[in-house]
Structure 1
Amino acid sequence: MDENNLIRIPEPALNDFCIGVLTKLGVPRDDAKIVADNLIAADLRGVGSHGVVRLPIYIKRLIDGGTNARPDIITVRQTRTTAVVEGHNGLGHLVGVRAMEVAIKKASDGDCVFVAVRNSNHFGAAAYYAEMAARNGMIGLVFTIGAIDHMAPWGGAEAVLGNNPLAVAFPAPGDFPIVLDMACSVAARGKIIVAAKEGKPIPVGWATGPDGLPTTNAAEALKGVVVPVGGPKGYALTLTVGLLSTMLSGAFFGRDVGDLYEKTSEPQNSGHLFGVLPVAAFDEQASYAARMRKGIDDIKGVRRAPGSEQVFLPGEQEYLAKLVNLADGVPIGRLGR
């Protein structure tokens, strides 16, 4: 994001603002705190496409009745190592946190656990939930269905898939976990939304317009489809993530997926899948940490390519951005300028 198009807001002030807006719309204060923390965490990590920029659409859905401000989030089916969570059409960030909490609690005695979710909504950055597991000494796995169909199957010309993000977080010695958080498109649609709001072009290869041709016009790209990363491999990956996110819980898939932005009075029935692998179930924590340290040293210690100052681990640049933004203020784009 262009620094000249940013304002910086102290994290406590932005947090209070988000909580205040959500509680005005009927969201209980404790629930609003969870949603606000999730949104601001994305902005702190430099992932503005999944941060406070999304708050207006969540507000609109609450006002229009498409999202339930006071969901009764419950476990409707479970075994010792699995569960299905009913999100009751609540804000996805809240539903996601509650479901991952179920997974972590079930895994506290050493079992590997998977929790499927139905009747949720767009839940922001997947890394947030994977990191919850990593902070508890567990490898966290997160899959989610996209909140809008904006990708065509490979060889098709009609959008019936989302870009269906996934995240994996590994506990690691040091200050931050190793975190993969990726959408299955070349770029997350949220980045195109940000570019459109700022009136900026997007790189070639991110999306096609409504005519099916590649475009650098962000507004036209929002009318077309995003391009899968790796061509047919990305299509297969987004299909797989979509199936994992929905088929175990009964969440919507394919043509049934609602449009986050256009159908704001209708429930989305978004699905997620959360998995946790407790390190202690496989080996002593100290042994795991030693192997991770050796692996990290191997990666960080490679000979650098020309022009490269250092090799970053997945999640490292986001961690460094967080340190800067906590000190300088959360970067928020001046929308509409």
Structure 2
Amino acid sequence: MEAANTVRVSESSLKTYCVEILGRVGVPAGEAAEITDNLVEADLRGVDSHGVVRFPIYIKRILDGGTNATPKISLVRDGLTSAVMDGDNGLGHLVGIRAMELAIDKGKGGNCAFVAVRNSNHFGAAAYYSEMAARNGMIGLSFTIGAINHMTPWGGAEAVLGNNPFSIALPTPGAFPIVLDMACSIAARGKIIVAAKEGTPIPAEWATGPDGLPTTDAAEALKGFVVPVGGPKGYALTLIVGLLSTMLSGAFFGRDVGDLYEKTTTAQNSGHLFGVLPVDAFDDVDAYMQRMQKAMDDVTGARRATGVERIYLPGEREYLSLGARRRDGIPLGTSLLRELQELGARYDVPLALA
């Protein structure tokens, strides 16, 4: 349910605003448009924790020298089915797009392919990249190291892990792919950031304060630790995703990981891993689609619990949100709106309301 203290902004207005400000801080126009499409799509899909709520910190990091506005992205290794990419400390959205484009290109020959990345930054919503592959007839995988350490090892009292999100997207015969996109914490830290900006409480099971006790105060939660989903299973999952995202490329892990918000003058050396599994490398595409349709029908046609009107597939709510918000506008919290407007005023870039 949408909060009362929101204002709607059109997709086109938000994109114009972001592209113009990125250009003011030195990002080339074409790349600014790609980054913006990635960023605003998160808001369109209802994933507000990974949309423009992060835009001010991305700009600050460029201004402070912690992120490179004009990276020369390069390949360190390049094989038939694998590669290692150096992002030259560019914005993670751009680096991620280039890496998944490369994986898809390698996959078009019928090969499963993986691209490991180093020297990148926070790349936004992981689903953006896995869906790129799904639109090309491939199962897409994307993994990333968290941009902040805010999770302890199971039984530990020191944050040396991020919530390390990952996404897997499967092409379907329907209007949208089936998409898993999740952090390894009960809730993405970005949701806590949104709550802190708007001064709203969070569920007590999301995070602890710096004292290690559960808290509903989002500001206190940002000083503490996020709670892994499934207890020790979530800890193990975030560890594995973090290792997959860094060990193949030489990106930072553990205590070496910088803080996206606090260490804005130094490079983060964030790591990602992108993979594709071309459907036609395994079976006839039509046969795959028939199996997928039956699987989808089995799931959505299951007997529903009392009071449940509809069973959704993973990624379906986001798909529906995308259509609705394109039509009705993107809701922004009033505190976030003020922050964006203040940033725009510094560069004489207004943010038009819907």
TM-score (norm 1): 0.99
Which residue of the partner structure matches residue 204 of structure 2? Answer: 204
Query: What do you get for the CA RMSD once the two structures are aligned?
Result: 0.9
Which residue of the partner structure matches residue 226 of structure 1? Answer: 226
Which residue of the partner structure matches residue 342 of structure 2? Answer: none
Moved over 2 A (4+): none
Which residue of the partner structure matches residue 151 of structure 2? Answer: 151
Amino acid at match of 1:239: L
Alignment partners' CA distance in 2, 1:65 and 1:309: 51
Amino acid at match of 2:295: G
Which residue of the partner structure matches residue 328 of structure 1? Answer: 328
Q: Aligned residues: percent identity?
A: 70
Alignment partners' CA distance in 2, 1:41 and 1:160: 30
Deviation at 1:148, TM superposition (A): 0.4
Matched, 1:6 2:6: yes
Which residue of the partner structure matches residue 269 of structure 1? Answer: 269
Which residue of the partner structure matches residue 259 of structure 1? Answer: 259
Alignment partners' CA distance in 2, 1:84 and 1:6: 42
Matched, 1:168 2:168: yes
Matched, 1:39 2:34: no
CA contact (8 A) 1:150 1:224 kept: yes
Which residue of the partner structure matches residue 341 of structure 2? Answer: none
Q: Deviations over 1:232-279 (max 9, x none)?
A: 000000000000000000000000000000000000000000000000
Deviation at 1:181, TM superposition (A): 0.1
Secondary structure of the equivalent of 2:179? strand
Deviation at 1:2, TM superposition (A): 3.5
Alignment partners' CA distance in 2, 1:3 and 1:217: 17
Alignment partners' CA distance in 1, 2:101 and 2:206: 35
Q: Deviations over 1:213-246 (max 9, x none)?
A: 1111000000000000000000000000000000
Amino acid at match of 2:28: P
Secondary structure of the equivalent of 1:332? strand
Superposed, which structure 2 residues align to 1:298-309 within 5 Å?
298-309=298-309
Alignment partners' CA distance in 1, 2:133 and 2:152: 33
Q: Deviations over 1:69-114 (max 9, x none)?
A: 0000111102100000000000000000000001000111100000
Which residue of the partner structure matches residue 185 of structure 1? Answer: 185
Alignment partners' CA distance in 2, 1:214 and 1:11: 37
Matched, 1:95 2:98: no
Deviation at 1:150, TM superposition (A): 0.2
Distance 1:3 1:215, change over 3 A: closer
Listed as ranges, the gaps of 5+ residues in structure 1 are none
Matched, 1:20 2:25: no
Which residue of the partner structure matches residue 104 of structure 1? Answer: 104
Count, aligned residues: 337
